[in-house]
Each structure stands twice: as structure tokens, then as C-alpha cells.
Structure 1
Amino acid sequence: MLQSKHSEAFLAVAETGSFDSAAERLHITASAVTLRVQALEKKLGHLLIIRERPCRVTQAGQQLLAHLQQTKVLEQNLLEKLMGKSACSQFYTLNIATNADSLATWLLSTIQPILIEENIVIQLKVADQTQTHHLLEAGLVNACISTEQESLKGCEVKPIGSMRYHMVASPQFIERYFAHGFNRESLRYAPAVIFNEQDQMHHEVIYNAYGLNMSQYPHHLIPASNAFLESIVLGLGFGMVPEFQIKEYTKQGQLIEIMPEAQTDVMLYWHHWKKQSRQLEQLTSQIIEHAPFRMNQSLNEDND
């Protein structure tokens, strides 16, 4: 049986990155934190924390961290289900995993009425839409937005709708790099803008159409949705952007679609635990009923 004080000390160090910060969180001395972590390491027979700046958890520490975070979320859900909310707050806390593009475009405006009406505060974890369901599987979140169609054990899945992506660039970028056509040779010298290493959408489009892999063309990695779009508008590169984000830019001629055949619809699903609180039920209904997706909507549909 793990002692709660020892586990709390380890969790605080793992989440804050230092023994001093953990001590401030727990309102004890740093030496007390050290002793508790050492006692836990001795009991388990494994080094859990690598004492660096910032501190890092070992492989054994990662396993314990996942267990403690999952237990924390489960306990929070149980208390909120039994008590309606935590005893010390008038707000309900929900942990949600989302992809960055949903967060940058439609998510907050869609759930805003329920957050206010139900006194819900959300703690968001951002990951690629192909990876968010792993956070739910690990028990780190109550629900997630994912491209995974199959439900996880103990969970339910509901379709949200489809986000359409377009390959776009600025007029200045097109003039500089694609003046002689959009082809395999020009693509080898035109910088692409890609979200991060896990983002395979751009790579797959270019590889399938022109046989080029990511090592054969220059590319920026810009892992923030707004900065990603801004970099394309500024002419730093070309890339795949959600339709929601580029309508005004295409209307004004600031962005031009350069590869219509690259249009990609990404189907999103809402995953949540089967046993959910009333607040999560309300949030689920809001997302499913009001997410602003329309299937197969063309980029120029609203140009009137």
C-alpha cells in the first residue's frame, strides 16, 4: 500500500519539476519532500526521480506517475458524482484532451454556454488528434477529441463531424516558388509549414501526389495553430490549414488554394467514460449538437 504523503511528494516533484516547487505546493520544507520521495523509492526498490534541473522521472517513475494521475482523476470524478462538486469549490473541473486545431477554431465557442451555465472549469491537454485517446486510456482526462473511431474499454464514442483542410499559400510565396508551376521539382525547394513531428497530413499529401518524403523538401515546424497560420500568411511557407481558419483570408486574397486535390476531411470523434457526471453529460451534448461542422462544404461556399 502506497502512503499518501509519499505519493503526494513524488507527484508534486514530477509535476512541478523541482523539490523546492513541490515543497511550496505541499506547504512543507524541501528536505521533507526529499525524505518522502526517498522513502517511496526505498519501498518500491526503484529510482523514481532523476535529480536534475528540472527534475525528470525515470521509466519506473513514469509508470507510477500515470497511476497516480489516473487515480487522482478517478477520485475527482467519484467525489463530483457523489457530492455534485468538490467540497471546496463551486466549480466543477473537467479534464479534456483536444487537438490544437479544434482548440484554435471551434471548441471554446461551442462549449462556452455550458461552461458558464454549469460552473465548469476545464483543464485542457493538447495533443495530435491521433494521440489524444491515449490520454483518456491512461485515465488522465475525462474525455477527448480524437480521430480514433473505435471506443476504448469502458468508454463511449460519438461522431462530432469532419474538419476540412486545404493546401494554401500567400500570393507572394506562389510567385516566388511556384511561378513555373506546382510540380515535383518546385516542391523540392519550397518551404512547407508543418505543425510538429506527429503531423503527417502534409507529408502524406505530398508523398502520395509527388513521391517526395519529408527529407526531400525544406519545412518549418510550428506547433501552435495561430502561429502556424500566421507563418503561411507571412509567406514563410505553404501548408494544410483548417477551412474555418482561412475563409476570410481566401476571400481577401491573402491566401490562395494551390492544390485543390489535397483537400482532406478529418473525421473527429468525442470519447468519454461511460460513467460520466451530469456536467460531462451536458458538455457532451453541447459538443455533439452544436459543433459547427458541415460535411463536404466547399471553401468558396460562403463567398457571397
Structure 2
Amino acid sequence: MFDQLPPPQDVPVPAWDLTVGLINATVQIDQPNDDGTRRVGTGFLIDAPLPDGQPRTVLVTAAHVLEGMPKPDARVGWRVQMPEGRWRFAPEPVRIRSEEGQPVWTRHPDRDIAVMEVSAPPAFARAAIPLDWLADREAFGRWQVGPGDEMLTLGYPHGYSANTAGFAILKTGRIASWPLTPIEAFPTFLLDFAVFPGNSGGPVFWVPSARRTSATAKPDHPYIAGILAQEMRVRGESTGIGFVIHAAYIREAMALLDAAQPASTWADIRSSSAPP
């Protein structure tokens, strides 16, 4: 069930199956507060091998999700499929701060994105999204993405899941802004859907089932278009619009994770983070 790999080019895979693969790679992140409530966010897993080829699973979320969790450990909501077919929600603690209180994640210097290596259960390591599914800087132009195009997103609004097994809630929305590129000028885009606390950090993605009206070029696999950062609020009221950070900035955060170098090398990392 968790073995979701990119399909061979000549073998069609149902769009719902690709969506299930992304659902399997999405997890709840939470930390209890002292008043009995809890802070909740969404994260998703990327299969990002180390530069030497060793396997590695990376958790991606919005930086403010982890920054708002002051305790050393957060919980990641793993799920276990039982022999009879049922599912069990099995959250486990993951260290997010050192003993000195310093974050152990890597934050993008300009964008609300955090990445960190995690020791995921084997089923989740297999379910992690291939790194190539992160859209690059030219993806929107190459695939003629435009306003009104439909995207999907996963998250845990107000800490709620789709069921007791802890699967994320799937929602749809349409791109609500223009222009979308170049991303240096427009690092975020708007998505028309209701955003709630707990959705932050969720993937915004496209699968072949998403309706398109104008594009002639289409990718041959799902792609992560971006990461949900926050909702748009005006005078304290929600507008039903979400801010999405382009996925190319997730790639840059991954490059920083690999480099583990000071900010003075950021220009070099940025110039080398795009795929060939």
C-alpha cells in the first residue's frame, strides 16, 4: 500500500492511485501546549538521497510550524496498516531542537520553509515523494500553468484528520493570481480554498485528474507545485485564499541541507540548486 513509485512511462496509472501516493507521504506534526491544547501543522516526506547516494528521507513543512514549537520534541503522525486491513494512528516523537534549544531543521533564509532528515518507518520511507516531483523554476512556464488551473492540497485543518487513522484531508482549489513567474519576482501564488490553522506546511500538487482548460503540454507524473504557507487575512477575517510558496524554494532548502554551510555561500547554493 505504501509502495508508491513513479510509474514507467508506458504504463498508465490511475490518477486516484497517484493521489493516494501523496496522501501516504503526508503526515501530521504536532506538539502539546501547557494549557492542554496543541499546535498542529502538516508535513510531507521527500525521498532525497544524500550526495553520496545513501538513502535519506526528508520532512518538509512550513518553518513557522516548527518555530512555534518550543519543546525539544514534536510528534509525527505515523500510521500502521494492520493485518486485517485496518489502520492504526501511531504518532512518535521526533527531535526538533538540541539540548541547548537550537533548531535541528534547516530553514530557507528567505522563505517560510523548513526541511529536516527524519528516521521514518520503512513503509513511510518507501512512500516518500521522489525528489524529481518537486517543480523547478521553469515548470509553470513549461507546463503552461495559469490562473484558474486546479490544484490539490493536503492538510489537517484545526488538527482534524480524515479519519481515526490520521490520514490528511484532501481539498481542491484553483490558482487565483497572475503572473506566476518568474518566481524571483513572484515567489508565492494564491490558491482559492479555505485555509485553517493546521493546514500550514501541506503540499500543493497536481495530478492527471486535475482539470485543465488551456495547456497543451502536460507532465508525465504528478508534481508538487508548492507548499502552503498561510491564509490571507484582511482585518482579522479570512478571505478563503491561501499563500503558496513555489516548490523551487523547497529545492533550495534541500540544497542548504546538503551543503550545511554558512549563509555566506547562499548565492552559490542558489545558483546550483536547480536541476539540470
TM-score, length basis structure 2: 0.28
Larger Rg belongs to:
1
Higher strand content, 1 or 2: 2
